[in-house]
Amino acid sequence: MAETGRPAPWQTLLATFFGAGLLPKAPGTAGTFAAAALLLPGVMLDLPCLGILAGPLLLLTLLIGALSVPGYLRATGLQDPGAVVIDEAAGLYAGACLLRPTWLELALVVVLFRLLDIAKPFPVNRLERLPGAWGVMADDLAAGLLAGLLTLFSRTLF
């Protein structure tokens, strides 16, 4: 960790999901779209379940978040900096684990995830109160799971 109040370069690279969170406008949406791009091969290859790809990506982003976010928070002194979007990637992957590999379901989970992540309905809003990196990550994981469940529920409606 640098003494200048800046995180180490590797922490910035990972916590911002390879720079997606550094965009000046809507970094959370940029992080979500970047994460969704890694799910596109699962849709194009018509995997039996999107979870085949999303599950390992979820585990990887949780590990990356656990390694990079605490130092990023300490270095910046911020509780939940907008540039940290590894949590958006993890949240999207949590929801995508439940889905079929279709364009419609991927698009729907992305839109629902962003809406839920921004609105933070109960109980999602309670989770962001957790300390440190857990607070950064947990609310997005809950929003992602909720988005995935709503997408599943939409199957019965349409």
Candidate from 1-10, 31-40, 76-85, 126-135 with smallest mean pLDDT: 1-10
Q: Is 42 within 8 Å of 54 (Cβ atoms)?
A: yes
Q: Is 70 within 8 Å of 10 (Cβ atoms)?
A: no
For the purposes of burial, counting CB atoms within 10 Å of the CB of 99, is it exposed (0-12), middle (13-18) or buried (19 or more)?
buried
83-100: average pLDDT: 96
Q: Is the pLDDT of residue 102 over 50?
A: yes
Collapsing DSSP to helix, strand or coil, 124 comes out as helix
Q: What is the mean pLDDT of the chain?
A: 94
Q: Is 39 within 8 Å of 54 (Cβ atoms)?
A: yes
Provide the pLDDT for residue 2: 41
Q: Is the pLDDT of residue 109 over 90?
A: yes
Percentage of residues in the chain having pLDDT higher than 70:
97
Q: Is the pLDDT of residue 155 over 90?
A: no
Candidate from 2-6, 55-59, 91-95 with smallest mean pLDDT: 2-6
pLDDT band at 4 (very low <50, low <70, confident <90, very high): low
Provide the pLDDT for residue 5: 80
Provide the pLDDT for residue 156: 83
Q: Could you tell me the CA-to-CA distances from 153 to 31, 99, 147, 157 in Å, in that order?
A: 25, 11, 10, 7
- Torsion angles phi and psi, residue 80, rounded to 5: -150, 75
Nearest to 118 by CA among 99, 94, 139: 139
Q: How far apart are CA 78 and CA 46, in angstroms?
A: 41
What pLDDT, in 10s, does the model give residues 16-63?
Answer: 999 999 999 999 999 999 999 999 999 999 888 999 999 999 999 999
Q: Is 49 within 8 Å of 24 (Cβ atoms)?
A: no
Q: Is the pLDDT of residue 13 over 90?
A: yes
CA contacts within 13 A on the Cβ side of 72: 27
Provide the pLDDT for residue 128: 87
Q: How far apart are CA 108 and CA 128, in angstroms?
A: 24
Look up residue 45 and give its two tokens: 């290859």
